[in-house]
Structure formats: C-alpha cells, structure tokens
Structure 1
Amino acid sequence: MVTAHSTSTVAELGGSPKRSRRMAGILDTIAERGEISLAELTDLFDSSAATLRRDLTVLADQGLIIRTHGGAKAAGSLAELPVALRDTRFQDAKRRIARAAAAHIPRERHAIALSGGTTTAGVARELVNHADLTIVTNSLSIASLAAPYPRLRVVMTGGILRPQSLELVGVLAEGTFNAVNVGTAILGADGFSAEAGVTTHDETEARTNHAMVTKAQRTIVVADGSKIGGAALAQMAETTSVTILITDDSADEGELDKLRAAGVTVVVV
C-alpha cells in the first residue's frame, strides 16, 4: 500500500546529489558492519554530527536502519536501496552500459519493453531521439522521461505502485505485458548468475518482469558489475531466456565465463 508518508520519504531521500551519495554510503557501511556509532560515521564521511543525525533519522523513517543510542544498526536486509539513492551509485558504469544497450536497438520501427531501475532509465535517455520507437514500461520514471519526446510512443502499464522502485506491479501490469509483443525486453537486475538467473528483491516485481520477458523476442540484461554473480530473492528470468548481458569491467570474470557457457552473449564496457 502506498502512503503519503512513504512517497514523501522517498522524495526526501533524493535531496542533493552529495547528500544522496552520503546516505547510500551510510547504508553500505551499516550493511557491512551491522552497527556503527555516530562518532565513527563523522570520521568516515567528514560531516558534522548534526548532519549525520538528520540522515539517520530519514533512513530510519524509511525503515532502512534502526537508530540506537549513539548510532545505528541494520534493520533486516539493506539489499534494496530506494530508487532515489540507487541513482547515485556506479554512475559512470551505468552510462557506458546504457550507451552500449542503445546501440543494440534497431534504428527502424521497433518496440521495446523496459523494466524499472536506474540503468534501464539510462537506456531510455540514450534512445530519446530514436525515429520510430514504442516503449512499453511499468516504470513511472521512464514514462516521465520519455513523455516529452513526440517521436516516442509510450505504453504505460497499470498496477500497484512500489515506492521503493517507482514501478507498477501486479496483475494489471502483467496483463499489459501479456497483451503486447515487443522485439526487445531490456531488464535491470539486483542479481544475475548462471545458476540463479536474473533476480530481484521483490517477488511481485519479479512476476511482472517475467511477464515482460515472456512476450519479448529477445532479452537484454543491463547490470553493473556489482550485480554479476549475486542472487536476490525472486527470479525474473532464467539464464537461458537472456540473449545479451551488458555489464562493466568490474564484473567477476569467472561468473561471466559461466554465463557465456550458458549461451549468453556477454558485452563488457
């Protein structure tokens, strides 16, 4: 259920780029250590105690951490960052991946499906000047990005809004993907390994994206190197369903070899 509190908190997380990067760093540090003191955070991030208290309050309100006396600790899994914070991570790699993915889209009339995520949004940015492209998406971010360009035809699914990813999911979204045929599905991921396939943290999102992949002639996975070899909760697509993986040179080479052996064409940028 989407509440005013949850959506406003996500908006607050997306403050200045500097603050977003700092808050993403705080989450990474807490995920690694389990618990950390305010004094340690001030040393690590070269920020005042008052600034860091405000950051911790926002993260705690979002349910991402638990405040403790003098610091903070992990609140369950910190694996899924809100989209406002994810946009600050691995930016250079994601731009290279997006450009490479766009180069695989035919310049003549073509229909693509795009899942939500910062890397897939980057692909959409690279395609805004395409002469005859239909974009089918369940991502509010991508639909808003593409809307100002009259040559792009945007088909938006229905569904229930996930505030963490700004994606529409569930049976209404699945119904839209099941009703159309696309040439290329471009899928972001929280993890991709030869054994586990393409995975994400939310099972409802996984079912929606599985419907997207099922109706596509080919599937391109776009994922920075931190996702390669990892496995999140729910599978979106089997490895054998993926035609191309586009990733960066930080990806584990051993896992890339396993994906190649499974029949995936691997592009490293």
Structure 2
Amino acid sequence: MSKQERWSRLLELLAVDGKLDVEEAAVSVAVSPATIRRDLDELAEQRLLVRTRGGAIAHGVSYELPMRYKSSRRVSEKQRVATAVADLLGEGDVVGLNGGTTTTEVARALVLRAGGGRPAERGEGTAGPTYTVVTNSLNIASELAVRPQFKIVVTGGVARPQTYELVGPLTEGVLNQVVLDVAVLGVDGVDPRLGVMTHHEDEAGISRLFAERARKVVLATDSSKVGRRAFARICGLDRIDVLVTDSGLAPETAARFTEAGVEVICV
C-alpha cells in the first residue's frame, strides 16, 4: 500500500469514527504503529487532522458541518473517485469546485497529489501555486486556503447553512468574471435522459454556471447517485465531458452515457 493509499484509508477511518487510535489503525492498515505515528504527524502538519496522545481526532470546520458533510456513507468509493478526478487535472489548471462530499474529497486528493505541502506560514509560500481553485464551498476554501500550492478564489454570496455553499447574485457575479479549465461538479442525481440534478434550485444555478465557464466539465459522483432524480436540473449530458464514478455502475448504464458522448471512468 502506497503512502497516498494509506493516508486515504486513515482519513476514511477518521471520517467514520471521528477519531483514530494508533494501535487500531496499524492493524487496520497493516503497517507498524511507528509508520502510523509518522503518517498522523504529517497529516496533522497539513491540518487534515489533530494529533492526540495515542492517535488523532478530526480537524476543524470540515468535521463540524451539517449532516451532509458528516455522512460516512460510501466514503471509500468517494475517495477513489476523488483520486481519479485529481489525476485528470494538470498542474497550473484553473479548477472550479462546487460543494458536496465528493468534491471535498477531490480537494483533499489534490492536496495529496500536489505533494502534501505544509500549511503556509509567515514567510513561506513564495513559489507560485500549483492549482488555482475557484469554489463556492466554504469548507473547501478553508481546507485549501492555508496551502501555498493553491490559489483560492471564493465566489462570495449568501451561505446556505445546510450545505455551506455560497449562492445568489454575488456568487454569479464572480463566476461570470472568471474562465475555468475544468469544472468538477458534485451532484445529487444524474440520469442518462434527464441530465444532472441537485436538490436546490439556487445551487443548481451556480453549478450550471460553473459548467458554462469551463472548457471541460467532470462529473464526480458515486454510483448510488446514477439513475437517481433530484428536484432541480443543472444541465444536460451535452455539457458533461467525463463521468467519474465507482465500479458499482452497471455496464448497460455506462453504455448509455458513452452513447451520449460522455467518457465514463469507473474506479
């Protein structure tokens, strides 16, 4: 198991329980306790967790969000999807991320892909950023803002307390002034006929604008969302270039997306 895979597994365990014990984590990941201690120290330096005596606890705002962000359902699938999405992004890309559990994992995968990197301190971070990330998600912005490899553009707008996403005319105003290389969208439903959907119309409008401002649109979702309907339509499949999902996607469903011109990546 590589270090990145090990870190992803540790963060997955942390998302489920909210805390980690060194000895138990060592058994789960099948490495020595000394290796786990080093991993936890490095993850703590990146502010992905907080070290405690004998282990670690979840860190900061991303673990004190509403239930949508606390959910431990399909964590492994979302992390695999996130890693695959990060692999599609090139150094220097301007990346748009809307809010959601999967796009939050994409942000974390980008941190690992960019070499981890310690949070910026006074006098650090003089080198240019590896990625520019434009987001309307408060928790994604808070996780990436301290990292010198990232230039973070936060849209502004009115915060939805249920999801920590910024919406409204102020959000639209910023997005209308930027151009994205890639937009990565997390969604609540996607259907080969109806297109891409979410539960709230104001969030749908912002996600639609992300797609319109991007040269390439990547849909990042676990397979449980495929075939599911939601209230507000974001866009049709003609706006989507790539669907990244887990291996639970039925082959016949994947074929329908392919026929619609969408590249399908199952991980």
Q: What TM-score, normalized to structure 1?
A: 0.68
Q: Which residue of 2 aligns with 1:84?
A: 69
Q: Partners in 1 of 2:235 and 2:216 — Cα distance? A: 12
Does residue 1:160 correspond to 2:158, yes or no?
yes
Cα deviation digits, residues 194-223 of structure 1 (max 9, x gap):
111110000010001111110100100000
How far apart are 1:257 and its partner, in Å? 1.4
Q: Partners in 1 of 2:232 and 2:182 — Cα distance? A: 22
Contact 1:190–1:227 (Cα < 8 Å) also in 2: yes
Structure 2 counterpart of 1:113, one-letter code: G
Q: Which residue of 1 aligns with 2:190?
A: 192
Structure 2 counterpart of 1:94, one-letter code: K
Q: Which residue of 1 aligns with 2:49?
A: none
Of 136, 139, 142 in structure 2, the residue corresponding to residue 144 of structure 1 is 142
Over the aligned positions, Cα root-mean-square deviation in angstroms equals: 1.8
How far apart are 1:17 and its partner, in Å? 4.0
Does residue 1:104 correspond to 2:88, yes or no?
yes
Q: Partners in 2 of 1:132 and 1:84 — Cα distance? A: 26
Q: Partners in 2 of 1:200 and 1:101 — Cα distance? A: 20
How far apart are 1:230 and its partner, in Å? 1.3
Q: Which residue of 1 aligns with 2:246?
A: 248
Structure 2 counterpart of 1:227, one-letter code: K
What stretches of structure 1 of length at least 5 have no aligned partner? Answer: 1-15, 20-80
Contact 2:69–2:100 (Cα < 8 Å) also in 1: no
Q: Which residue of 2 aligns with 1:47?
A: none
The alignment covers a number of residue pairs equal to: 192
> What is the DSSP-based 3-state SS (H/G/I as helix, E as strand, rest coil) of the residue aligned with 2:209?
helix
Q: How does 1:57-96 map to 2 (within 5 A)?
A: 82-86=67-71, 88-96=72-80
Cα deviation digits, residues 127-157 of structure 1 (max 9, x gap):
1227521000000010011011012000001
How far apart are 1:18 and its partner, in Å? 4.6
Q: How does 1:1-269 map to 2 (within 5 A)?
A: 17-18=16-17, 82-86=67-71, 88-107=72-91, 109-128=92-111, 129=114, 132-269=130-267
What stretches of structure 2 of length at least 5 have no aligned partner? Answer: 1-14, 19-65, 116-128
Q: Partners in 2 of 1:137 and 1:167 — Cα distance? A: 9
Cα deviation digits, residues 35-70 of structure 1 (max 9, x gap):
xxxxxxxxxxxxxxxxxxxxxxxxxxxxxxxxxxxx
How far apart are 1:106 and its partner, in Å? 0.8
Q: What TM-score, normalized to structure 2?
A: 0.68
Q: 1:192 to 1:183 in 2, by over 3 A?
A: same
Contact 2:190–2:225 (Cα < 8 Å) also in 1: yes
Q: Partners in 2 of 1:205 and 1:211 — Cα distance? A: 10
Q: Identity percentage over the alignment?
A: 37
> What is the DSSP-based 3-state SS (H/G/I as helix, E as strand, rest coil) of the residue aligned with 1:212?
helix
